A and B are shown apart, each in its own frame.
Chain A
Amino acid sequence: MESRLQHIFLTPTFLAITFAGVLGTFTTTALAAEASDLDLEPLVVREPERREVRVDQIDSEDFEIGVNAGIFHFEDFGSDTSRSLRFAYHVSEDFFVEAIYGESRLGETSFERLSGGSPLLTDAERDVTYYNVSLGWNIFPGESFVGGRWAFKGGLYVVAGAGSTEFGGDNLFTVNAGVGYRFIATDWLALHVDVRDHYFESDLLGSMEAKHNIEFSGGLTLFF
Chain B
Amino acid sequence: MKMTHIYKLLVLGFLSGLAVETHAIFDSYQPTVLVSDPYLELRTGPGRGYPVFYVAGQGDEVTILKRRTNWFKVRTPRGKDGWVHFQEMAHTLDLEGEAIDWGQKDLSDFTRRRWEMGFNGGDFGGASSLTGYVGFALTPNISLQIEGTQVLGKFSDGVIGSANILMYPFPGWRLSPYFTIGTGIITTKPHTTIVQAEDREDEIVHAGLGANLYLSDRFMLRMEYKRHTVLTSRDDNEEIDQWKAGFSIFF
In the complex, what's the smallest C-beta–C-beta distance from B130 to chain A, in angstroms? 6
Instruction: Tell me the count of chain B residues lying within 8 A, CB to CB, of chain A.
Output: 61
Q: Which of B10-18, B178-186, B224-232 participates in binding chain A?
A: B10-18
In the complex, what's the smallest C-beta–C-beta distance from A195 to chain B, in angstroms? 21
Instruction: Tell me the count of chain A residues lying within 8 A, CB to CB, of chain B.
Output: 56
Q: Are B31 and A53 in contact (CB under 8 A)?
A: yes
By secondary structure, the B interface counts as mixed
Q: Which of B66-74, B134-142, B169-177, B235-243 participates in binding chain A?
A: B66-74
- Enumerate A39-86 residues with CB–CB distance to B below 8 Å: 51-62, 65-67, 69, 83, 85
Q: Are A138 and B249 in contact (CB under 8 A)?
A: no
Cβ-Cβ contact count across A and B, 8 Å cutoff:
141
In the complex, what's the smallest C-beta–C-beta distance from A211 to chain B, in angstroms? 14
Bound-state CA distance A57–B154 (Å) is 50
Q: Are A135 and B247 in contact (CB under 8 A)?
A: yes
In the complex, what's the smallest C-beta–C-beta distance from A101 to chain B, in angstroms? 12
Known contacts A67-B11, A140-B49, A141-B48; is-contact A171 B152 (Cβ 8 Å): yes
Residues of A within 8 A of B152 (CB): 164, 171-173
Residues of B within 8 A of A178 (CB): none
In the complex, what's the smallest C-beta–C-beta distance from A60 to chain B, in angstroms? 4
Q: Which residue of A lies closest to B68 (CB)?
A: A61
Q: Which of A6-14, A15-23, A91-99 participates in binding chain B?
A: A91-99
Q: Are B192 and A169 in contact (CB under 8 A)?
A: yes
A sample of 6 cross-chain residue pairs with beta-carbon separation below 8 angstroms, ordered by A number, consists of A59-B27, A62-B68, A67-B8, A91-B218, A168-B192, A170-B191
Q: Which 8 A-B pairs have the closest CB atoms?
A: A142-B49, A173-B152, A173-B128, A141-B49, A60-B67, A59-B26, A171-B157, A141-B47
